[in-house]
Structure 1
């Protein structure tokens, strides 16, 4: 016997409210997140904020004094890019559950996320690849989550 429509609607509204609260809580937590990454030559540590913005740079153990400008620039770029990628993967993984349809209420599809609003206008996803502005980075976010996109 099928559940009455009013009961299904009540259940769906409750689940929707819970999901919206969870998304808001996750977004608040992510706004406080940061990641720091050390360059492979251990000369530079770059720290990025939740939208991948550079929030700190440290030159370690005076190694920069023996580096050419090109070497130092490469270390800074390497550490910054790795920190951004790490942050982006963290954000995508945290938000991924909200993109899935409800298991209890099949009519509730997952939320569509505005990655540009989450990450900023230039969404760095993987080794310099940028998402199309305003679009969902389908294959790249699946790669970041370790999924191949096949069902």
Structure 2
């Protein structure tokens, strides 16, 4: 019986050590991400934006005076496109940083990866984790939910 208790005690020690290592890694990741910014340009190279760590627009530069020959809607489109690309990069960076930290603890039998709904977390700023590893879109989930809902209308249209 003592050997069994020693085995459990060792597993608990390993699980606690893994938890502390993960906590420290998450704190470092949060600190690193809080200080990061992303710089992106529009495809027409007329606009450059800086996106902050929470997806906020932190800087805007009109390059080579190209904006002077653009219509208002063209310029607005360039700004929005560059900002969207920057927000996607920020979201991807967050996912790439935290995904390894959410893996199951190998020292805890039956533990599972922590699942995150990246679409819900980042909203329309990110085109879902599909670029980086799959997942269904919110439209697909809604379609599935509608399909799976029981008909509670009692046969009425």
TM (norm. structure 2) is: 0.73
Cα deviation, 1:96-141, whole Å, max 9, x if unaligned, reads: 012210234335444466969x86xx56221xxxxxxxxxxxxx22
For residue 85 of structure 2, what is the aligned residue in structure 1?
82
Q: Which residue of 1 aligns with 2:102?
A: 99
Q: Quickly say closer, same or farther: Cα 1:58–1:67, change in 2 above 3 A.
A: same
Contact 2:11 2:107 in 1 (8 A): no
Please, which runs of 5 or more residues in structure 2 have no aligned partner?
A: 136-157
Separation (CA, whole Å) in 2 of partners of 1:73 and 1:94? 32
Label 1:25 to 1:98 Cα distance change in 2 as closer, same or farther (>3 A). Answer: same
1:42 Cα shift?
0.6
Q: Matches of 1:95 and 1:123 in 2, distance apart?
A: 20
- The question of 1:36 aligning with 2:22 is answered no
Q: Is the 8 A contact 1:115 1:123 kept in 2?
A: no
What residue number does 1:73 align with? 76
Secondary structure of 2:126's match?
strand
Q: Does 1:124 align with 2:125?
A: yes
- Quote the Cα distance in structure 1 between the aligned partners of 2:27 and 2:110: 22
Alignment CA distance shift 1:114-1:101 (3 Å): same
**Normalized per residue, which structure has more helix?**
2
Aligned to 1:62: 65
